[in-house]
Amino acid sequence: MLTTHKENADMTLQDKVEQWRRETAELEPGVLIAWAWREFGNDVVLASSLGAEDQVLTHLIAEHAARIPVITLDTGRLFGETHDLLNETRRRYDVDLRVFFPDAGKVEEMVNEHGTNLFRESVDLRKKCCAVRKIQPLKRALDGKKAWITGLRRDQSLNRTAIDFVEWDAGNNLVKINPLAAWREEDVRDFLIRHDVPYNPLHDRGFPSIGCAPCTRAVEPDDDPRSGRWWWEPREQSECGIHIVNGKVTRRVPVLVE
């Protein structure tokens, strides 16, 4: 049964997700990004970690919907290579790239109370550092938006095998759009090479997952890609919290580019 204009106007974003899921099920990533701009306009944003998948999405946004803002977080503890990539991405793409910083007063208060490297003292203090430097700025970046675009892929973990191109993000009360949901790791790698997309050179030095410099190290080729993040903690604790919903980890893991 077709939905009337009045009924459609009364539907919430969450109500519309199933309809959008059906409409976008066969769309290629670039076409899906163009659809997101038509559907949400200024109320959709790409949240980029400057990882490999997000660099692919930035390239596709520049091609298909350059007015979609691309936001990224500068925690104050990033690698120099990550800052270089941010500048290179600005030069390469004519997109609205916005950098969000943590609240300076909250950082000062945290550091003055717990020290500069509090994240090594306990899991709770590390999570506090992540909350102040990452989670709170992201919430501010997403404030007022109706949808966000992510680089989640189905083959990244068993928890993600059922993700859709369009789904409801209950944790942020936003529509989540995953244009690369059906891509494999080799698809991401091939796209970067074929289109000469700038990516973080640390990927080629054994860093499959890149975050803050004090909390990230290189890993061996056969190691868990996440083993280089907060390696001093129990593995089940090693998440910052951005992609944990209802207790389940939904974090994307950047690929290693060969």
**CA–CA dist 213, 168 (Å, integer):** 32
Cβ–Cβ contacts within 10 Å for residue 102, how many? Answer: 22
Cβ–Cβ contacts within 10 Å for residue 220, how many? Answer: 9
Tokens of 188: 């991401």
The angle that helices 52-64 and 29-40 make with each other, rounded to 10 degrees, is 60
**H/E run at residue 56:** helix 52-64
Find all residues with CB under 8 Å of 51, minimum gap 6, and list them.
151, 200, 209, 210, 252, 254
φ and ψ of 5, to 5 deg: -60, -40
φ and ψ of 42, to 5 deg: -70, -5
φ and ψ of 165, to 5 deg: -65, -35
Q: Select which of 129, 130, 212, 240 is catalytic.
A: 240
130 is catalytic: no
Tokens of 187: 């698809």
Q: Which residue has the tokens 């200024």?
A: 42
**CA–CA dist 167, 240 (Å, integer):** 22
Cβ contact 237:246 at 8 Å: no
Which residues have a catalytic role annotated? Answer: 240
